[in-house]
Structure 1
Amino acid sequence: MAKRALKLASLAAAASGIYLYGNKFLDPNDFGVVRVGRAIATTAVITCDYLTSLRNVPYGSEEYDFLKSQDSRGRMEVYQCEMLSEVHLRSAERLRELCCANRGTFIKVGQHLGALDYLLPEEYTRTLKVLHSQAPQSTRQEIEQVIREDLGKEVLLLIVKQIFPDFEFMWLVEEAKKNLPLELDFLNEGRNAEKVAQMLKKFDFLKVPRIYWELSTRRVLLMEFMEGGQVNDKAYMEKNGIDVNEISRNLGKLYSEMIFVNGFVHCDPHPGNVLVKKCPDSGKAYIILLDHGLYQVLSESFRMDYCRLWQALIKADMKRVQKYSRRLGAGDLYPLFACMLTARSWESVNRGIDQSPLSASEDVEIRSNAAAYLPQITQLLNNVPRQMLLLLKTNDLLRGIESALHTRASASSFLNMSRCCIRAVSTYQRSKSHSLYRRVHISLTEALSLWQIDLYELFLWLKGSCLGNWVIAFLSRMHHST
């Protein structure tokens, strides 16, 4: 019991790509001694709590077994035994206190964990969600001091180059050193915001805050104020007449376009950075994308392999799943890699992830296996290309949003991904072809494939609509009469 619970606690760290120090010597110049000590102490207390609190609960006992109940909406909820739940809650509260005390990268870690509804125990996600919108804030005096220094003098200022984070990433220290300083450069964030707004301007439901460059520096970024509800706040959407399925579908379109078509990916879509709002005049629902400090730029070869892998996953083409998973560094762990990408069981991957909705039993299986396969997950994360690491984080956060909105069973996200993969691969093939005939053939094949997806989507819509039921009944009667 204690061993399995500890795996869940370890998963909370692994899911965010954190490695708690290991055997590496920590230089006090790179890491605050107080913060390091606080983190080590918190980790020790949590570990001790799991070991001592659960030592007398034997595996397979009545207390250990999960209790299942059916809620009013027919969705199966799984509750762990009371004792385990209490330990989870105490541990989550300690993690939240640690994040608030240490701030910086710890806050980002807590925000990530708070979004993983589909993966972590509910006690963790519920406790850490407050960091999405109620993270510790700088005092007015601290903000005014920065503004005075950067905007109030005719002087050159030293650029802060202190290495972050206070935790060492399991997904390689080099990635943290490369990416986190970019997040601290507000001019870089402003440029990213304008780039993605231009890149995705065809999506009229997307809002990106305008940047006021004349009042911005590396440490001060002045942008347009935008407000709304968090993208995982289902109650807010229902209260304001916002269709959760439309929001989930549009969010999938945004990220599919960024990942597969453009290769320029916003890598921090936790619910505090993605807001939704309904325009009172037009009645249109918008997605507001904030915090543009961290983007992943995908190489063309990586992007094409990733596109083809997703095409194989959607088609349940296991030979190609194995081929492109191996090309992306998964090796013999390609089944685990496929499950991590899709957040589905291996059985569902083999059957076709768009063919069957996520069931309650499969959801339990995914949560259990995530803890059981932690060593293999760690090995896999160390083997895949560096570009894959932030994509996995992005995937985690998007799946968490879908879980909170109860839209994970929808096939629309996979259809949108299919469209983007087809467009991306076709564009790449045309760019490499010197034959007019070949380019025309590629374009016709692309158009046919997109048309087939549209037709399939229409079929799904008809199947679920009253009109579809009438058509099916009418055709059935016609068949029997003949």
Structure 2
Amino acid sequence: MARRALKLASLTAATSGIYLYGNKFLDPNDFGIVRVGRAVATVHLRSAERLRKLCCANRGTFIKVGQHLGALDYLLPEEYTRTLKVLHSQAPQSTRQEIEQVIREDLGKEVLLLVVKQIFPDFEFMWLVEEAKKNLPLELDFLNEGRNAEKVAHMLKNFDFLKVPRIYWELSTRRVLLMEFMEGGQVNDKAYMEKNGINVNEISRNLGKLYSEMIFVNGFVHCDPHPGNVLVKKCPASGKAHIILLDHGLYQVLSDSFRMDYCRLWQALIKADMKRVQKYSRRLGAGDLYPLFACMLTARSWESVNRGIDRSPVSAREDVEIRSNAAAYLPQITQLLNNVPRQMLLLLKTNDLLRGIESALHTRASASSFLNMSRCCIRAVSTYQRSKSHSLYRRAQISLAEALSLWQINLYELFLWLKGSQLGNWVIALLSRMHHSTY
């Protein structure tokens, strides 16, 4: 126990010192911007290696934190994500007793965070400790994990591409969970997919469908989709690519009021309706920081949010801007995380992990994925409205409006498909010739 605490204290002090005093020794006027960039990269790499070794040594909670950080390709320096990615598939194994001991030790040493808070006044991550206290016991209850697995399998049974391991209850207890063995490649392993003839765009699209259904329609969300928990495999018999969802210990249950506000916020973001973006961001606790909140949710710049996040793909310049702003706005980000409802914290974590997968596969959210999100939001809001209405006429109105909105989305999706297909090009060319021949 004392040894782990000493290791953590040592890492905290060393890393804080490096970043606290680094600017003093990294002045571009002294030895050039290129050398400064190399020096900063070296600092990042050294700190990341220290963090990886600490995670492997202390295991338990540390592994989970390292896995999450390793998935944030779009946000963190490459030296960190490259170093910590190994924890997704090569994490050291722990016994039950070791895990429980690490948790007791981790949650008993909030003092280290308080020390960092004194060094960096803008550091506001005590909420993370409170969330860990609440969620980690659930993750370690294997009967709870088994029930979650069966619930999500039943809830999403219409998705034939989803596979959830079967639970063998007769051989399971709170400390032992026996489930069906499933194997495949990690969902961020683009090389594996190309080697096995799996379409990365299809996987990314289906993953988006899966999580949109969980978040917007059901309000029961798998909150740990790091690449080690989401596998892909091509079925030899059917030739279809399956998504295998593992580790069902941590789920977020969303209240109806929160879910409806979140649905309407995403509808506003997709439509670039800034008045409603502001309205529903404020209702979700963002206050005057609603522009930052919108950028955090979409992983896009404020300029792109205003223009419409489905209008253009993420550019290299925008990626650099997002990474730079994440560091520059750390005090505001931590303030925002302190203010939003606790339900939002795990959703933000889930969003981060999904964005990391998209970044690794080079399939950042497309117009098609936003259309799927829109469908889920429309269905969710309509179902909620019908449940609150006692009038048959009003329920019929809601159903008609729902059908019309879904039809409009289908029509727009058909237009986009025609626009990008050879048939569509031929039709457009033919109509153009017919138009010019009339004059």
With the shorter chain as reference, the TM-score category is: 0.7 to 0.9
Shift of 1:38: 27
CA spacing shift, 1:36–1:317, aligned 2, 3 Å: closer
CA spacing shift, 1:113–1:16, aligned 2, 3 Å: farther
CA spacing shift, 1:302–1:403, aligned 2, 3 Å: same
Task: Check the 8 A contact 1:38/1:98 in 2, yes or no.
Answer: no
Cα distance in 2 for residues equivalent to 1:353 and 1:244: 21
Q: Determine what percentage of the aligned residue pairs are the same residue.
A: 95
Q: Which runs of 5+ in 1 are unaligned?
A: 45-88
Cα distance in 1 for residues equivalent to 2:385 and 2:232: 37
Moved more, 339-348 or 144-153: 144-153
**Once the two structures are superposed, what CA deviation does each residue of 1:86-127 show, in whole Å capped at 9, x if it has no partner?**
xxx222111111110110111001101111111111111111
Shift of 1:355: 1.1
Q: Which residue of 1 aligns with 2:327?
A: 371
Q: Which of 148, 171, 179 is matched with 1:192 structurally?
A: 148
Shift of 1:156: 36
Task: Check the 8 A contact 2:27/2:36 in 1, yes or no.
Answer: no
Cα distance in 1 for residues equivalent to 2:95 and 2:335: 42
Cα distance in 1 for residues equivalent to 2:184 and 2:281: 39
Shift of 1:212: 0.7
CA spacing shift, 1:143–1:364, aligned 2, 3 Å: closer
Q: Which residue of 2 aligns with 1:315?
A: 271
Task: Check the 8 A contact 1:150/1:220 in 2, yes or no.
Answer: no
Task: Check the 8 A contact 1:104/1:165 in 2, yes or no.
Answer: no
CA spacing shift, 1:375–1:28, aligned 2, 3 Å: closer
Task: Check the 8 A contact 2:7/2:54 in 1, yes or no.
Answer: no
Structure 1 length as normaliser, TM-score?
0.77
Task: Check the 8 A contact 1:105/1:167 in 2, yes or no.
Answer: no
Structure 2 length as normaliser, TM-score?
0.84
Shift of 1:170: 3.7
Moved more, 34-43 or 431-440: 34-43
Task: Check the 8 A contact 1:17/1:169 in 2, yes or no.
Answer: no
**Once the two structures are superposed, what CA deviation does each residue of 1:323-351 show, in whole Å capped at 9, x if it has no partner?**
00000000000000000000001011111
**Once the two structures are superposed, what CA deviation does each residue of 1:271-292 show, in whole Å capped at 9, x if it has no partner?**
0000000011110100000000
1:130 pairs with 2:125:
no
Cα distance in 1 for residues equivalent to 2:254 and 2:333: 22
Task: Check the 8 A contact 1:19/1:168 in 2, yes or no.
Answer: no
Cα distance in 1 for residues equivalent to 2:133 and 2:35: 18
Task: Check the 8 A contact 2:263/2:377 in 1, yes or no.
Answer: yes
Q: Which residue of 2 aligns with 1:94?
A: 50
The two structures, once aligned, show a CA RMSD in angstroms of 10.2
Shift of 1:171: 3.1
CA spacing shift, 1:472–1:227, aligned 2, 3 Å: same
Q: Which runs of 5+ in 2 are unaligned?
A: none
CA spacing shift, 1:33–1:351, aligned 2, 3 Å: closer
Cα distance in 2 for residues equivalent to 1:15 and 1:417: 40
Q: SS where residue 287 of structure 1 aligns?
A: strand
Shift of 1:413: 1.6
1:444 pairs with 2:400:
yes
Shift of 1:18: 18
CA spacing shift, 1:324–1:26, aligned 2, 3 Å: farther
CA spacing shift, 1:208–1:308, aligned 2, 3 Å: same
Shift of 1:174: 3.0
Q: SS where residue 40 of structure 1 aligns?
A: helix
Cα distance in 2 for residues equivalent to 1:430 and 1:266: 26
Task: Check the 8 A contact 1:105/1:164 in 2, yes or no.
Answer: no
Task: Check the 8 A contact 1:333/1:380 in 2, yes or no.
Answer: yes
Q: SS where residue 265 of structure 1 aligns?
A: strand
1:397 pairs with 2:353:
yes
